[in-house]
Amino acid sequence: MTTIEFEPISAPIPTFAGGLKEVRDQLGKVKGDQVVAFVLDGASEDEAKAIEQVISRIIRLTQNTLTTRSNETLSSLVETLLPKDMPSPALLKEARMMLRAKEAVLNGADWLTAAQVASIAGLSEKNPSAQLHKWKRDGAIFAIRRNALDYYPGYALDAANEYRPHRALRQVLARFGDAKDGWGLAYWFQSVNSFLGGQRPMDVLVKNPDAVLAAAADEAMGIAHA
């Protein structure tokens, strides 16, 4: 078994959490040559304190004369990193349902990056995201966010108009406003719709855009009265 040796720590290592000035003042009273700092952009005070506690607990673990990479040591480290409150069965069920729904969305349509859309639409390849972001900002198209990238639905592009967004799509998206995010819109477009006789909006958008617009208005009205 591979072993990992740790230098014994002679004294507890202090940790600090708080505002920049507060932590700077605390560090001014500490004697030491090296400092490791974490900047938590947008974190609340409670979140910062919670992270400080986790780091402090990890440090205490390493002070316990760790000489072998034993199962007990690994288990202790895992327990330290796990949240104190176990997720409820309902939360786990919801997470599994969301995962399956997102997998269905990804597998049920062609999702294109900005570079791919730019290539088939003949847009500038120097900054392929610029035009797509403008379309999205203007409400002409939507995207889902995955792994820090925007992906655009292939069914939203009109082959008869140089693969620009379908004109009717802007009106459909306007019906929803901010009621649905990108993933919510993707679910709706790819789900069978009773208002459309069991067809999916993505399949009806080109041949009957007025029906899709009416279905979107009906859906939006239901959301407003929910």
Report pLDDT digits (tens) over 56-105: 776 666 655 454 555 666 666 666 666 667 667 888 788 889 889 999 99
User: How does pLDDT run across 142-190, given as a tens digit for each residue?
Assistant: 999 998 899 999 999 999 999 999 999 999 999 999 999 999 999 999 9
Instruction: List the structure tokens of 144.
Output: 């889902």
Least confident of 45-49, 134-138, 203-207, 210-214: 45-49
At residue 84, the pLDDT reads 66
Indicate the pLDDT class of residue 15, thresholds 50, 70 and 90. Answer: confident
DSSP-derived pairing of the beta strands 149-153 and 157-158:
unpaired
Distance CA 219, CA 175 (A): 9
- Phi, psi dihedral angles at 150 (to 5 degrees): -90, 135
Sign of the CA dihedral 86, 92, 98, 101?
positive
Distance CA 150, CA 147 (A): 8
At residue 64, the pLDDT reads 56
Distance CA 117, CA 83 (A): 41
Q: Coil, helix or strand for 147? A: coil
Mean pLDDT of the chain: 82
Distance CA 141, CA 143 (A): 7
Q: What share of the chain is helix, strand, coil (3-state, %, to 5)?
A: 55, 5, 40
56: enclosing H helix or E strand = helix 45-62
The residue extents of the domains of the chain are: 20-81, 90-224
CA atoms within 13 A on the CB side of 204: 24
pTM passes above 0.85: no
